Amino acid sequence: MKAEMGAEQPETIAAIVAAHRAGTVTPAQTVARTYQRIRDHNDPAVFISLRDEKDAIAEAEKLAAKEAAGLSLYGVPVVVKDNIDALGFPTTAACPAFSYIPTHDSTAVARLRAAGAIIIGKTNLDQFATGLVGVRSPHGIPRNAIREDLIPGGSSSGSATAVGAGLVPLSLGTDTAGSGRVPAMLNNIVGLKPSLGMISTAGLVPACRTLDCISVFALTVDDAALALSVMAGPDQADPFSRDRPLGAITPLPANLRLGVPRSGQLIFFGDKKAEAAYADALKRWTALGATLVEFDLEPFYETARLLYEGPWVTERYLVIRDLLASAPDAIHPVTREITAAGARLTAADTFSALYRLQGLRKIAERTFTNIDALVLPTAPTAYTTAQVLANPVELNSRLGTYTNFVNLLDLCGLALPAAMRGDGIPFGITLLAPAGHDALLASIGRVFHADTKLTLGAKGVAQPALAPLAASGIDDIPIAVVGAHLSGMVLNGELKALNGQLIEATRTAPDYKLYALKTTPPKPGMLRVEAGKGASIELEIWSLSSSAFGKFVNAIPAPMAIGTVRLADGRSVKGFLVEPEVLGEARDITAYGGWRAYMADAATA
C-alpha cells in the first residue's frame, strides 16, 4: 500500500490530524508515506530498530475504526530515542552489550499511544546519551538533514534528523546538557526541553538522573507544545516527577522583557556568521515589540562548567559502571573516557559543588526578577563531522556553551530556528525561563518562528499560518465571517465595537457556495452543499467574549444564521450561513472564491 498524496501532503501534526479527522487522508496512508520516505531517505544510521511496516499499518487501520474525535495525536507517526522504553522494541542506549527488552512502555510513550500516536521506530543516539555531536554511536552517524557534511547534533541525533528530513512530524529525544536543543538547531527544527519533572522519566535509561528530561522535536512550536500537553503530568512511577500545571498558549504578552548577555560576554569561537545571525534575531525580537534587558551571563557559564568538571559526571558513571568493569571495550572510546572520570570524585567534591550550585541558583533567580525569558544562541557555532572526529572532546564542549547550565538551574527551554546562513548552515536561538514557564516560552516562541518565515526542516515546505488561540480570555468564542464583517468591510466595526480580535484569515472546506444577496448594505450568503460540489471560500476568524458573542448573534437579521462551518484543514468553527429559501433571487458568486474578490470586481464594473 502506498499513499498517493503529492505536494499537498500534510506535514505538521496539526495538519495530519486535521486531514485524518476530515477523512481526506487515512492514518494508514500517512504511515505508508512515512515508510516510503524512510526508504527514499536511505540512511540506515537514523534508526537502531524499525517496526515492520505491515504491523504499523495494521495498527493505523484499527485506529481509524475508532472514534477519533478525542485523540489529539490521531494517527501521527512518532519515533523514539533508543534510551526510552517502547514496548515491542529493545532498548539499547546505542550499546548492543547493554540491550534489554522492556516489559512495558515508558510513561511518556504510553501517553503518546493513548493519544493516538503510532510508534514506528527507535532512533540512534550518542551512546548512553553522552555527547552533543551525534557521532558517538556504533550504529553510524545519521546524516544532518540540512547539510550532509555537518554533524547531526547529539545526543538525540536520530530523533532530530528524522523530523528535520520530514520522515515523521514528531520525535522524542532526551536532554541533560543540551541534547534536545543543539540537534534542533542543526536540523532547522523546534526542540522543546520541558521543565524538569514535567514529563515522567519512568522508562528512561538515565544519563544524569537528577537532571534528565524527555524532550520533543517537531516542525512547529504548536506541534511541540501539543506533544508536551499529551505527556505532561505527575507519575507515581517516577520519584523525580513534579505536578506542574502546563498553562495555556497565549497571545504575545505586552511589555515582553527578554534578557541578553552583557557586551563582550557572548562566545562564538570566531564564527562571525553565527554572531551576525544572533544580532539579527535580537533585531527581530525588538521589531516584535520586546524590550531587551542586559544581564550577567558569567554565573551561568560557571554553572555550565560544574556539569562536567563537577560530580554530575558520576551519575553517568553509575549507569554503566558494571559494563565498564566487565566489558569496557563495548563502550565507545570517547564515552568511556568521559564517564570513567566519574569514579574518581569524592563525597566532599559532591557537597562542595552542591553548595556552589545553590548560590548560583539564587543568582539566576534574581536575574529573572525583571526579565521574562533569556534569549541566547542555541549553540555558538556548527561543526562538520570531520572536524569533530579530529577533536571530539573540545568541540563537543564548545557546543554546550549555552546549554550545559540549563537543567542545573532548573530552567525550561525552547530551541527555535532563527536563520539559514548564507553558507547553508542553520542558526537557532533558545528561550530560557524558570521551571513552570513552558507555556510562556511556547507563546512567545511561536510568534518569533512564524515571523522568520523559515521553511520547515529540510523539506522546503512553508510554515502554516499560526492557528487561532483561545484569545484573550478562557470564555472567548471564535466566529467565522465571510462578507460585510471582514476586515475593512462596511460592518466590520460591529465586531470591533464588541472588542473582537482578528485571529486568522483562512478558507472553508470545498463544500460551500457563495451568493450575493439583495440586502442593504450588500452581503453574501454562504450555503453548505454536498461534499466536493462547492468551492473553498475565503473567510476570517474573529474572537469574541461569550457575552459579546451572544449580543452579536442576537443582532443578526434574517436570512443570516449562525451554524457550524468546516475549514479547509478539517477544523470546525461557528460562523455565518444563509437560509436557503432566499437564494432564488440571489446571484451565485462562488467562482470568485470570496466576498472581497466579488466586491472588487463589482467596484470596477
Distance in angstroms (rounded) separating the CA atoms of residues 579 and 462: 38
Q: Provide DSSP, 27-42.
A: HHHHHHHHHHHHHHH-
Q: Considering the candidates 137, 159, 171, 179, report the single residue annotated as catalytic.
A: 179
Distance in angstroms (rounded) separating the CA atoms of residues 126 and 195: 23
The answer to whether 81 is a known catalytic residue is yes
What is the separation, in whole angstroms, between the first and last Cα of the chain? 52
Which amino acid is residue 279, in one-letter code?
A: A
How many degrees, rounded to 5, is the angle at CA 49 between CA 222 and CA 334? 90
**Cell, residue 605:** 464594473
The answer to whether 263 is a known catalytic residue is no
Distance in angstroms (rounded) separating the CA atoms of residues 361 and 368: 11
Q: Considering the candidates 155, 157, 159, 241, report the single residue annotated as catalytic.
A: 155
Three-state SS for 89?
Answer: coil
Grid look-up 507519575 returns 235
3-state SS of 376-440 is EECCCCCCEHHHHHHCHHHHHHHHCCCCCCCCCCCEEEEEEEEEECCCCCEEEEEEEEECCCHHH
Distance in angstroms (rounded) separating the CA atoms of residues 296 and 98: 43
CA 301 to chain centre: 27
The dihedral region occupied by 134, where left means phi > 0, alpha psi between -120 and 50, and beta the remainder, is left
Distance in angstroms (rounded) separating the CA atoms of residues 300 and 305: 9
Task: Give the up-direction half-sphere exposure of residue 332: CA atoms within 13 A in the CB hemisphere.
Answer: 23
- Identify any residues that bridge with 260 across adjacent strands, giving them in sequence order: 294
C-alpha distances in Å from residue 502, one per residue of 15, 249, 521, 542, 566: 21, 17, 22, 4, 18
How many degrees, rounded to 5, is the angle at CA 92 between CA 91 and CA 94? 140
Contact (CB, 8 A) for 198 and 162: no
Distance in angstroms (rounded) separating the CA atoms of residues 132 and 155: 5
Q: What is the DSSP letter of 240?
A: T
Distance in angstroms (rounded) separating the CA atoms of residues 504 and 523: 21
- Identify any residues that bridge with 374 across adjacent strands, giving them in sequence order: 259, 432
Nearest residue to 383 via CA among 288, 270, 474: 270
Distance in angstroms (rounded) separating the CA atoms of residues 559 and 519: 10
Contact (CB, 8 A) for 175 and 218: no
Three-state SS for 338?
Answer: helix
**Cell, residue 490:** 462596511
The answer to whether 155 is a known catalytic residue is yes
Q: Catalytic residue positions?
A: 81, 155, 179
